[in-house]
């Protein structure tokens, strides 16, 4: 791991130690966030799978009923029955926060509270299979919106997981080791400088003692 290009001073050493402390704390927080994101994501994926199977099963029934209705009714009669819907739906889109990720929340309201308004036709000239298809479609709509909400939430969480994982890896495998190696390098340089200073001081002391000894010797000889 390459060390950072810094001046090997005590001030720089103190600054890098503080950065290392912050990096380690940030790494722990991001790791905890990543674990919680993964937990939320896996829970969403499991629920999404169950809901998708349910929606596909209901839509398959709708398809089968429509096929039978088309077989027993004329094309003109089927088109006329479905031409003018009586029920209108309004979709409300909001968001909620999951681990700092804004995920969508989908809700819908109908223009009428009368459940029979889902049928835009009279029952005299239509088949029971068409009634069943319309009823199943009405029931599957909330599940389809919930499924769309879950799939978009899963996508957003997956993006946040990838982003958080990159940050965790950058801290764990790049920044923290680089700071650690740089701190070690600066500490070694400072220790070397300290030993060099001590060695020089000892040499100066020896020279001063030698000069003092020679001075005393000359004075005694005089």
Q: What is the DSSP string of 2-67?
A: PPP-----HHHHHHHHHHHHHHHHHHHHHHHHHHHHHHHHHHHHHHHHHHHHHHHHHHHHHHHHHH
- Asked whether residue 177 is domain-assigned, the answer is no
Instruction: Give pLDDT tens digits for 77-117.
Output: 888 888 888 888 888 999 999 888 999 999 988 887 777 77
Q: Domain for residue 67, yes or no?
A: yes
In a domain, 59, yes or no: yes
CATH number of the domain encompassing residue 117: 1.10.287.3240
Span of 33-37, 76-80, 115-119 with lowest mean pLDDT: 115-119
In the chain, the number of structural domains is 1
Q: pLDDT value at position 220?
A: 61
Residue 121 in any domain: the answer is yes
Residues 6 or more apart from 93 whose CB is under 8 A from it? 104, 105, 106
Owner of token pair 């309201």: 109
β-bridge partners, 110? 89
Asked if the structure places residue 9 within a domain, the reply is no
DSSP state of 171: I
Q: What is the pLDDT of residues 127-167, one digit of tens each?
A: 888 889 989 988 999 999 999 999 999 999 999 999 999 99
Domain that holds residue 43: 24-157
> Which residue has 């799939």 as its token pair?
151
In terms of pLDDT, which residue wins out, 180 or 4?
180
Q: Is residue 185 part of a domain?
A: no
101 domain-assigned: yes
- Give the separation between CA 118 and CA 79, rounded to whole angstroms: 16
């Amino acid at each position: 791991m390459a060390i950072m290009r810094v001046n090997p001073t005590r001030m720089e050493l103190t600054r890098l130690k503080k950065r290392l402390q912050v990096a380690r704390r940030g790494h722990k927080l991001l790791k905890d966030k990543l674990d919680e994101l993964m937990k939320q994501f896996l829970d969403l994926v499991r629920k999404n799978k169950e809901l998708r199977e349910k929606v596909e099963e209901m839509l398959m029934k709708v398809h089968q009923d429509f096929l039978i209705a088309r077989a027993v009714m004329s094309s003109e009669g089927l088109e006329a029955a479905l031409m003018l819907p009586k029920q209108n739906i309004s979709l409300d889109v909001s968001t909620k926060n999951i681990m700092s990720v804004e995920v969508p929340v989908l809700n819908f309201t109908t223009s009428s509270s009368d459940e029979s308004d889902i049928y835009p036709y009279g029952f005299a000239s239509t088949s029971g299979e068409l009634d069943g298809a319309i009823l199943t479609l009405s029931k599957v709509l909330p599940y389809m919106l919930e499924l769309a909400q879950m799939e978009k939430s899963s996508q957003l969480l997956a993006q946040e997981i990838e982003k958080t994982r990159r940050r965790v890896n950058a801290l764990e495998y790049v920044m923290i080791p680089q700071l650690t190696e740089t701190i070690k390098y600066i500490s070694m340089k400072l220790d070397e400088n300290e030993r060099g200073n001590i060695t020089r001081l000892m040499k100066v002391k020896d020279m001063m003692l030698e000069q003092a000894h020679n001075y005393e010797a000359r004075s005694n000889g005089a």
